[in-house]
Amino acid sequence: MPTLRIGDLAPDFEQASSIGPIRFHDWLGTHWGVLYSHPADFTPVCTTELGRTAQLKDAFAQRRVKVLALSVDPVDAHLKWIEDINRTQHTTVDFPILADADRKVSTLYDLIHPNASTTATVRSVFFIDPAKKIRATITYPASTGRNFAEILRVLDSLQLTDQHSVATPADWQDGQRVVILPSLQDPELIAQKFPQGHEAVTPYLRLTPQPGR
């Protein structure tokens, strides 16, 4: 299976989940999506990750993002695991967890890396836009838990840069200055798009307040 790349169409699938069968593209609808994988149920790092996702329910909703987790264990194991997650992480998991026992989705999304493990999935994150295109990916080894502040930061950057002719610089956080795209050179158009002005550090590095702030 070829590795999925940024700009590729996110593969569609139908698979069982903790809330019933999911046909991915229909379930996503017009929302952004985050699809992320877990090596197995009843594992410590995954328990904290799913708990953190549930705690961030409002943050994802504000960004019109649907979250879909994946583990290769069956639905009945997911339901028992969710009880543990809710109890230990003091939250309520109400987003779906795919039951990928047949490895169908893991294969589509290249989540099993044989040099790491021949059976367990790595910790991949796929950021998917409303057009069902993959916009970014992050992959961690099974031993490293995900940084959810970074997941939200990437979503903020993707959504902001889709709406405006900007990019986000290193370590950017929502509300900080952004970079005017080098392709934008017309002074009148720049003044129109960025009425708060900008700082030209160099001819190609031009910083401006975040649009809409």
What residues are labeled active site? 46
User: Residue 149 has what pLDDT?
Assistant: 97
Q: Note the Cα 203 to chain centre separation in Å.
A: 33
The architecture (CATH level 2) of 14-145 comes to: 3-Layer(aba) Sandwich (3.40)
User: Residue 114 has what pLDDT?
Assistant: 45
Return the SS3 of 14. Answer: strand
User: Residue 2 has what pLDDT?
Assistant: 55
Over its length of 213 residues, how does the chain's per-residue pLDDT go in tens digits? Answer: 457 899 999 999 999 999 999 999 999 999 999 999 988 899 999 999 999 999 999 999 999 999 999 999 999 999 999 999 999 999 999 999 999 999 899 889 988 654 444 445 567 899 999 999 999 999 888 889 999 999 999 999 999 999 999 999 999 999 999 999 999 999 999 999 999 999 999 999 999 999 988
Does residue 127 contact residue 135 with C-beta atoms inside 8 Å? yes
Residues 54 and 121: their CA atoms lie apart, in Å, by 21
User: Residue 120 has what pLDDT?
Assistant: 52
Domain 164-208 has CATH 3.30.1020.10: yes
The b/e string for 51-64 (b: 16+ C-beta within 10 A; e otherwise) is: bbbbebeeebeeee
Domain boundaries, the chain: 14-145, 164-208
